[in-house]
Structure 1
Amino acid sequence: MTIPSTETVIPHEPHFVVRMGRMLWADKFALCAAIFLVVVLVIAIIGPTWLGELATKQNLRGRNLPPFDWERGWVWWMGADALGRPLFARIIVATQNTLMVAAGAVVLSAVIGTVLGLVAGFSSPRINQVIMRLADVIMSFPSLLIAVIVLYVLGSSILNLILVLSITRIPVYLRTTRAEVLEIRERMFVQAARVMGASNKRIVFRHILPVVLPTLTTLATLDFAYVMLAESALSFLGIGIQPPEITWGLMISQGRQYLTNAWWLSLWPGLAIILTTLSLNLLSNWLRIALDPVQRWRLEMKGRKNG
């Protein structure tokens, strides 16, 4: 006689990447934004090698060439700038510098701000006060004013621009991380780890940091768009990236004197900034829901239905 098994069969939990893929597929706006950002990233990697020579080659006979002139070739479909250089090639090449500045500033500010926030939230009140006063000092000055002063003193370069923009964004990650740590450190699993003899370093990096990372990931995605707009504003003011380097903001600045008779010089790089920023905002909104255990069930249900 066969005795039926009483073991409970636990359904297999899909891999994290598979779950994220299903949730991304459920949100079509976020899916389109992710695809667009992947394309932009690929362009940033291969752009200078692909069209770098065309982006710098001058052709004074084609000055301010209007867009959609297909007879000259596909690379001229956006028109040409004041020196006869194809705008399409220049936008493709400028993608690398634009994303490099934004990514460098976000990564640097996120790492420094997160570490300082972890220390401030888990250390003694005296250290906490010192770190928070430092953040207050940075936030007391307008970020654009700090950038103008520092770039005027040190000079305009990609490294200085990344450094300035990262300094102005450190308090955002510092305050967010500290607020999360102050709340998480009182939870039961942290108290249990402390009772079992775990060191403060292990508690912070093994138990607290993984809980804080989803919030910081969403914040960094949104902050990427802000830093990119800040870089464009500085380049528009003439204190950002300088020629012969190219960024989208610098292209807008170079085309502002031709707005009345050659509007396309500023339109196309401005449109690139708008679409990239919009995609980042849509993706950050999706990340906020997908990484939240309380809300992501909605995306998971949509993903199962669509699957």
Structure 2
Amino acid sequence: MAMPSTDSLSAAEPPFVIRLGRMLLADKFALCAAIFLVMMLVFALLGPAWLGDVATKQNLRGRNLAPFDFERAWFWWMGADALGRPLFARIIVATQNTLMVAAGAVLLSSVIGTVLGLIAGVASARVSQIIMRLADVIMSFPSLLIAVIVLYVLGSSILNLMLVLAITRIPVYLRTTRAEVLEIRERMFVQAARVMGASGKRILFRHILPVVFPTLTTLATLDFAYVMLAESALSFLGIGIQPPEITWGLMISQGRQYLTNAWWLSFWPGLAIILTTMSLNLLSNWLRIALDPVQRWRLEMKGR
């Protein structure tokens, strides 16, 4: 009996994107997390244009308005702050700055840390030691302390906050990438590529980086949640983003003096932070399995 050709087998295999979608549908928690994060992304892109005027308009007659007043417009359902501004509208508008700071910091730190880690993994011992000592210097200082000092000197702005948080997270990607490269470069497929005459640049970016990428993707997803919490902590301390800009952390800071009689001022933005970080952690755990060829079969079996 004739065996099926390799072309027919490859044609029967669905694309990886479709398989990834099936694996996501099979994991209900990861699916809910992905839907929530997509919703937050839509709020970040469209929120300021949609509810920007509503979120900044003051109404002193509605100061500290209690939530669940369904006789009012829907954006009042979470209550109002000390200046009578609807909390729901402000949370949606604040999504943009909160996610922009976290995404920018993670992107900068991951790119810089990955490049330095790749260099440290394949360069000479002297160059590798210099890069690793740089990472040790950054890690020797508490990240929040560095942020407090730099923001106090340079001033609080979205760009400064993004740069400071990115610098403090570079060693995480650097050390992870270097450790992965040191292990992968000794594998047989890398040795075979080297014997066949592949250049060092091609081996690094064509053969090693794709193997490291799933680990870095999972790390970046987790780090996104950490950076968002760090930004919220700095805003809570009063050295993060300043009014008239707004973030979830700043909203918590503005509501802390009313915790005894208007708990909702800090509760709703705090809940937004909790749900976003929890969704990121769930999606990160799913990505770790979905991008690992050894463990991926577990999700694929659920999707059948």
**Under TM normalisation by the shorter chain, which class is it?**
over 0.9
Give me the whole-angstrom Cα distance separating, in 2, the residues matched to 1:100 and 1:5: 57
Match of 2:139 in 1: 139
* TM-score normalised to structure 2 length: 0.97
Match of 1:255 in 2: 255
Match of 2:106 in 1: 106
Q: Secondary structure at the match of 1:186?
A: coil
Deviation readout 1:175-230 (Å, 9 max, x if unpaired): 00000000000011111111111111111111100000000000000100000000
Q: Which amino acid aligns with 1:10?
A: L
Match of 1:267 in 2: 267
Match of 1:179 in 2: 179
Gaps of 5+ in 1: none
Q: Do the aligned partners of residues 140 and 6 (structure 1) sit closer, same or farther apart at CA in structure 2, a change above 3 Å counting?
A: closer
Gaps of 5+ in 2: none
Match of 1:168 in 2: 168
Match of 2:46 in 1: 46
Q: Do the aligned partners of residues 6 and 204 (structure 1) sit closer, same or farther apart at CA in structure 2, a change above 3 Å counting?
A: closer
- Mean Cα displacement is larger for which, 88-97 or 6-15? 6-15
- 1:10 Cα deviation from its structure 2 partner: 2.5
Q: Which amino acid aligns with 1:243?
A: P
Match of 1:23 in 2: 23
Give me the whole-angstrom Cα distance separating, in 2, the residues matched to 1:68 and 1:201: 60
Match of 2:198 in 1: 198
Give me the whole-angstrom Cα distance separating, in 2, the residues matched to 1:6 and 1:292: 30
Q: Are 2:215 and 1:212 equivalent residues in the alignment?
A: no
Q: Do the aligned partners of residues 7 and 52 (structure 1) sit closer, same or farther apart at CA in structure 2, a change above 3 Å counting?
A: closer
Give me the whole-angstrom Cα distance separating, in 2, the residues matched to 1:73 and 1:130: 60
Q: Are 2:77 and 1:77 equivalent residues in the alignment?
A: yes
Deviation readout 1:243-290 (Å, 9 max, x if unpaired): 000000000000000000000000000000000000000000000111
Quick one: percent identity of the two aligned structures? 86
The runs of at least 4 consecutive aligned structure 1 residues that moved more than 2 Å come to: 4-11
Give me the whole-angstrom Cα distance separating, in 2, the residues matched to 1:62 and 1:239: 28
Match of 1:291 in 2: 291
Question: What CA RMSD, in Å, does the superposition of the two structures yield over aligned residues?
Answer: 0.9
Match of 2:278 in 1: 278
Match of 2:303 in 1: 303
Report how many residues are paired: 301
* TM-score normalised to structure 1 length: 0.97
Give me the whole-angstrom Cα distance separating, in 2, the residues matched to 1:158 and 1:6: 61
Q: Are 2:9 and 1:10 equivalent residues in the alignment?
A: yes
Q: Secondary structure at the match of 2:14?
A: coil
Q: Secondary structure at the match of 2:55?
A: helix
- 1:98 Cα deviation from its structure 2 partner: 0.1
- 1:6 Cα deviation from its structure 2 partner: 4.7
Give me the whole-angstrom Cα distance separating, in 1, the residues matched to 2:17 and 2:205: 23
Q: Do the aligned partners of residues 73 and 186 (structure 1) sit closer, same or farther apart at CA in structure 2, a change above 3 Å counting?
A: same
Deviation readout 1:11-36 (Å, 9 max, x if unpaired): 62110111101111111000000000
- 1:5 Cα deviation from its structure 2 partner: 3.8
Match of 1:122 in 2: 122
